[in-house]
């Protein structure tokens, strides 16, 4: 679901499109232009059907964008940082950094998406009805009716109580409110999502073997996506539950070994990397401010012949792309940000100065210690820490 090209910003939120979205545009436009529209409104020219179908497909993408933009705006109002929105093959996704801090915030963020789609559907349906009452009966009305129906269907589908659908988020919020445990609630919603995804796959294959063709294949594809996403969410919830209550400062490696961004790669390798044998090096300017991050993977990408002329700043991950955190920040809020060009590393800042680094190995070591502690406390559990046992489960 990575962004292929950008559409700019709406209300300060970056909006992008993945190239796979062209597939859904072609599917919708083709189905309408050569199926639905000629059937309900025969006798029009092929060009008219194609134009109306393309308009409907693009308007549907705009509806998806409105759905995701509603999520993003409400998330931002509830203190959740929004990285951006991406439209792709199976719809859209609002990329949030961190999670809601309360069940109420989770409920509002999740619920506003289906509500937006439902309101759009009702408004478009009312527009089509008024147009028919006024005597209009043509392709524009058919487009309005299609968009009304698809938006209502989108709202209903997203309300299924199964993660990663919005209904799964609503289920998690309700369970969180009842149990007081964010992580076990997330695991329950994710398992419901897996069950729902497998049901969609089974239904899709049933349609395929009974000769219903493409619809069954599409349903199975959606089910496969739901299963994979729900599995990932369950794993994330289980890991986060085991790390609940830990701060970044308790996990980080420090003090960090910083480097001069103007050193050449050749000199840095011989004088620092091959001597100290760390894998991550924040770059700081003379004032101590973070200006980049290099890892052994990024240094390895520099050809040997270019190492004497290439400076560290030339191959570093830029400051804006480096995940940063404060020592007192909950570790579970940092984990979703540890991706991108930093090779999974994050830099810990205190008062603007580098004090440590969090790497995947730091997190893995902490998980191993958590398992050992859980085994010592619950020997019958076989060493696995159950998220339901974690006091003060924290925030997703």
Same domain? 197 vs 227: yes
What's the token pair of residue 179?
């149990």
When pLDDT is averaged across residues 189-206 and rounded to a whole number, the result is: 95
Of the chain, the percentage scoring pLDDT greater than 90 comes to 66
* pLDDT for 389 beyond 60: no
Same domain? 263 vs 314: yes
Same domain? 282 vs 137: no
When pLDDT is averaged across residues 160-185 and rounded to a whole number, the result is: 94
Domain of 304 in residue numbering reads as 249-373
Q: Last residue of a domain, which of 196, 228, 243? A: 243
Same domain? 274 vs 368: yes
Residue 389 resides in a domain? no
Q: Is 392 left (phi over 0), alpha (psi -120 to 50) or beta?
A: left
Same domain? 228 vs 319: no
Residue 386 resides in a domain? no
Residue count of the chain: 396
pLDDT at residue 378 in the model: 36
* pLDDT tens per residue across span 84-129: 999 988 888 998 877 888 999 999 999 999 999 999 999 999 999 9
Same domain? 193 vs 319: no
When pLDDT is averaged across residues 311-323 and rounded to a whole number, the result is: 93
Min mean pLDDT across 180-189, 218-227, 337-346 is at: 337-346
Same domain? 271 vs 128: no
Residue 384 resides in a domain? no
Residue 394 resides in a domain? no
pLDDT at residue 95 in the model: 87
Catalytic-role residue among 68, 106, 145, 233: 68
Same domain? 151 vs 296: no
CATH of the domain at 285: 3.10.580.10
Of the chain, the percentage scoring pLDDT greater than 70 comes to 93
Q: Predicted confidence band at 391 (pLDDT cuts at 50, 70, 90)? A: very low
Residue 339 resides in a domain? yes
pLDDT at residue 172 in the model: 96
When pLDDT is averaged across residues 300-324 and rounded to a whole number, the result is: 93
What's the token pair of residue 24?
């859904």
Q: Predicted confidence band at 335 (pLDDT cuts at 50, 70, 90)? A: confident
Binding-site residue ranges: 67, 71, 166
Same domain? 23 vs 118: yes
* pLDDT for 198 beyond 50: yes
* pLDDT tens per residue across span 362-385: 888 888 887 666 544 433 333 222
* pLDDT tens per residue across span 244-279: 778 999 899 888 889 999 999 999 999 998 888 788
Q: Predicted confidence band at 1 (pLDDT cuts at 50, 70, 90)? A: low
Q: Using CA of residue 338, residue 340, residue 341, residue 343, what is the dihedral sign?
A: positive
* Structure-model confidence comparison of residues 343 and 57, the more confident one: 57
Residue 381 resides in a domain? no
* pLDDT for 393 beyond 50: no
Residue 259 resides in a domain? yes
* pTM reported for the whole predicted model: 0.77
Same domain? 104 vs 197: yes
Same domain? 234 vs 321: no
Same domain? 25 vs 146: yes
pLDDT at residue 374 in the model: 54
Specify whether 68 is catalytic.
Answer: yes
CA distance linking residue 136 with residue 258, whole number of Å: 70
pLDDT at residue 246 in the model: 86
* pLDDT tens per residue across span 28-42: 999 999 999 999 999
pLDDT at residue 147 in the model: 97
Residue 390 resides in a domain? no
The count of structural domains within the chain is 2
Binding-site residue ranges for Zn(2+): 67, 71, 166
* pLDDT for 21 beyond 70: yes
């Amino acid at each position: 679901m990575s962004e292929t090209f950008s559409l700019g910003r709406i209300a300060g939120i970056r909006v992008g499109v993945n190239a796979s979205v062209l597939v859904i545009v072609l599917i919708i436009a083709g189905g309408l232009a050569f199926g639905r529209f000629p059937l309900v409104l025969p006798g029009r020219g092929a060009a008219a059907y194609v134009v109306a179908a393309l308009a409907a497909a693009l308007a549907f993408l705009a509806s998806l964008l409105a759905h995701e933009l509603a999520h993003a705006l409400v998330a931002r109002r509830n203190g959740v940082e929004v990285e951006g929105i991406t439209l792709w093959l199976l719809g859209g996704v609002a990329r949030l950094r961190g999670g809601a801090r309360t069940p109420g915030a989770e409920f509002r963020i999740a619920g506003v998406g289906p509500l937006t789609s439902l309101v759009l559907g009702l408004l478009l349906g009312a527009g089509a009805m008024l147009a028919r009452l006024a005597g209009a009966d043509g392709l524009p009305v058919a487009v309005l009716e299609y968009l009304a129906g698809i938006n209502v269907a989108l709202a209903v589908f997203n309300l299924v109580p199964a993660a990663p659908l919005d209904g799964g988020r609503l289920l998690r919020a309700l369970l969180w409110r009842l149990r007081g445990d964010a992580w076990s609630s997330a695991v329950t919603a994710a398992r419901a999502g897996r069950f729902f995804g497998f049901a969609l796959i089974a239904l899709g294959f049933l349609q395929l073997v009974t000769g219903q063709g493409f619809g069954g294949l599409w349903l199975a594809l959606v089910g496969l996506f739901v299963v994979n996403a729900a599995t990932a969410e369950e794993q994330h919830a289980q890991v986060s539950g085991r790390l609940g209550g830990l701060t970044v400062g308790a996990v980080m490696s420090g003090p960090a070994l910083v480097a001069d961004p103007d050193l050449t790669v050749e000199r840095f390798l011989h004088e620092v990397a091959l001597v100290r044998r760390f894998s991550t090096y924040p770059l700081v300017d003379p004032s101590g401010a973070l200006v980049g991050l290099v890892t052994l993977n990024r240094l390895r990408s520099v050809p040997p012949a270019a190492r004497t002329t290439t400076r560290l700043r030339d191959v570093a991950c830029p400051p804006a792309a480096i995940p940063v955190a404060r020592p007192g920040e909950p570790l579970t809020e940092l984990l979703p940000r540890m991706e991108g060009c930093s090779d999974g590393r994050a830099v810990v800042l205190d008062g603007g100065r580098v004090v440590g680094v969090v790497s995947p190995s730091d997190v893995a070591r902490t998980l191993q210690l958590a398992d050992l502690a859980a085994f010592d406390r619950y020997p019958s559990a076989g060493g696995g820490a159950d998220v339901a046992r974690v006091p003060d489960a924290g925030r997703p």
